[in-house]
Structure 1
């Protein structure tokens, strides 16, 4: 379930976006491009261009470098104090070099040039020109052309564009004479905006104010001074008057509609957001799955700056800010939450770019469902390995982090599940107790926690059990030596720790007591060795005991050494794997069961009238029979 915090407004001074500092270069030729030094930048002289409303304005910009063979890479046009370009000419390829295929890409800002794209950068002219067709009063302003090359220095050209109105055409301006056409402002909330509309002619035309904002302002009666007619309009910049349109039209009674020409302006007001609302796709999200969150901002003008934060980490919105009508803006971020993001606040902050003194924000506490994260450790110990003495009691704990909660915990020993009681094991949900530790209990212990999101397996904790040596099951137990010869026997045991010392003894017959053999008592591994010399008995039994820090072996390992003599018959024979094509005979070798003993098997077929009785003689040799 999401947890929503209260919204607040608290923000310190915000740094506005800074424009990229670009080097500029001026060149020779004509009055347009006499170079002017300005620090480390290279600039052309300021060029003044005048155009009549409705005609095509031509704004010059030289795009050749000091190296005639070096083509231009990028041209950016800026208007007034904007830090974002209103037009670009890009001839770069994917590698950043001049593109050899196709035509350079040209782009114009629709807000500046409209959807009909009235601007075009013509490089066929010398110098190149930005052509603005059907020029309007709102195109008037100061332009900067910044030209970039691959190796040569960049340079800039400044151009001012003045638009002259034809006789009888209205003009809206402020008290200083600056034209007010198209979007104007933005003004601070509560600012009184006073504008004048004027037109000239013989006789001077009539002037009338109109538009959606005319009822919200105050009109001053028209006056005539010579051939010029003037009228004033005053409006208060507020949230109610933001984005209203104000028009001024010339009138003439001889025209059927009364209206001859019209200019318009749109009032822009700096407004802080009214509401910020963070929208989640549901009550919870799954870890590892990408999820989209939306932040809806109402009331900001210009469109707001939106920031996303997850805890103390800044996120990047995955799509441009979109307007869904009026002054409602929506920002979207795609997030792939992790288990550690559970209960972490996701915050959306929004503020008007021109009103950085306050901010509105909304936040949600993330509810992340994730597969259990399990960790096994020894009670009071670590989570990698543990060592205990045989016969001890040890407790393991399965620590779980999960959302939603786990409904089952399963313990495993060397990959096999442990349930309930088994060979001294007590399982109780997140706790596993080994009541009487034996050597068979050594190995890897893991736990698995299950919830609706899946099964989460823990680390593997290795349990080492210290136990006294015992005889290894698989080892050589019979040796053959020539009478009077020497033989080295091996005693293999299982034990931990593995640093062992061995004790040896001989037993010549079943009734006698073992005779301890002299040994140096050196430390060996899990296999001890002893060399018998001058063996003359037909058979002798060798006993061995091992000792480590956990104790001494209680039952010795028994090895038998035979001297070479006439072999005894096989015994305990059995026949199996009997099929139509053959059978298998197993026999136990007779004493002394040494090497290089050869046995013969005689197989007889059944007598018949067709075939006389046949005998099959098979030989095989058994080596190191035990």
Structure 2
């Protein structure tokens, strides 16, 4: 009895060993024909291996199997024979790699391997079985990233930079190079400043080093004190960073004689202050009179952060009149880097001017229709010979004699309010008075653009009528009254229904019957008087909006954007919004707004203005765009049709790159959920293994026939008799061509 049992065990072991060897040979030969996709991963991080599960038309997914290297036993399986992907059965081997693996189907099918280790590196194969179509296989080479060594930064002379580079001169060039060795894949070497990429062009040199040479033809002021980063990145591993600070010498930014240009009295000392900013190191200041250095005058120089000041004590003579005084600023590190601020000395003074209001006018109660007299008070030596009056920026009176000192405005209007300035001049120069502001009170008037408006309404719909006026004084001094007119009847609106805030008055109005559609009139009153012409609001029947106008396509080859831009039409008296529908060319052109054409639109966009950015368009495919407006009454008809919408392959790539840049965040909650799922699946897998061992004899007998079937599917599973349970009739056997037989 014992001898018989040993003989049976030996026989089955020989059959299984022979099956595994032949299966492994078939797998190796088969995989030579498959293209391989390389996926890089950093040790300790998660890796995702893609697999295309798209079923051919009229077919659906049966099973998915993942294999690693030449192993014939699946690393992971997904069984969707009894339903769709959401109810599919997941199974993974219970070894260390299997417990860290889970197959994701949302957002693109892929096998996620958590916390990648060095042992995980290798070639994975995804095998996809369908019910009626041939099996498909995909190979993915999972390769671990090796981080590069720390970068080395050299200056333009080839010397290594320890912590601070420079000094560099503003406006001159800057040269730095970053050298990186090691790393797999070959690292990308880039230069960054304050999180912004400034140079991503690198080159390979001898001995496997990668170099990025940073060259700036003109150093800008903003680089002083800045920190540059050289980053060596072997994606997806984190970058290796080396930082260097910049020392930059700066030219003087400006120089100014700060002391006001007042009259200098002959024989009296006057202190003049000159200040220069922006120079690093501090600028050197000097004073000149008519181009010659002032040698014997007393000067005091004070330096501070980024600023240099010089105080000159000058005692001018009459002969110094009209001479040029200059303050010069220079940084000795910059050849020829000189700035000067110049002015002419004046011994005789120009006019001193002011504007006064006539004593018979009360500036606090100036009203429309009053007469106003303004006087230009002038002190000058010599006497002023020209006077100009300005209202804001407009000349209102000009005279070449002193008779223009008085400006008279008869019957002043509200448009005459504002600033008035008098400008007087003599042979020494001109002076401008401080502005005198005239505030003019006037009776209320409608705010421009609101004199007559129409509001669309539906019966029993409550709307808010708004009346806004201009008035001085306004605020709490304003009183509003409303009337409603239909036909020849004019009815007052009770004050209890009127809301007043500032210059705006509103009422709530709801037309109940057809006779309630008419005109609202609004008057305002302030202490000056009552509004002469009311603001009119016509309550009309709301209607559907008009179609948008002047629709056109606008594209940009640099950004890949394709925009549809229109002008809005009449809103029908109601708030409207705009809708864009995109469909493929050739669909039903007679579809009405809000109704899907044949096949339905690809997508629909909604906006408050008729301006839309198209997306998700395939290159070299013709599309049609429909634009229409919609309000509470319905949609505009007919919709505006824009035919022949196409994008190029280059524009499509730019759009896809922008979309990919916004992806890539890991959902940690889903991550831990997947880990717990793997533990449960491992337990189920152990139970399944017991069942499979029970039917080992059945598998061994069928192994030779199964290995000859190439690319076949398990569509005959439905032929299992009802009285036999499917788990007891099924086992997985890999064949030569990569198919799965369910026996």
TM range (shorter): 0.3 to 0.5
| Higher strand residue share | 1
| Higher helix residue share | 2
Structure with greater Cα Rg: 1
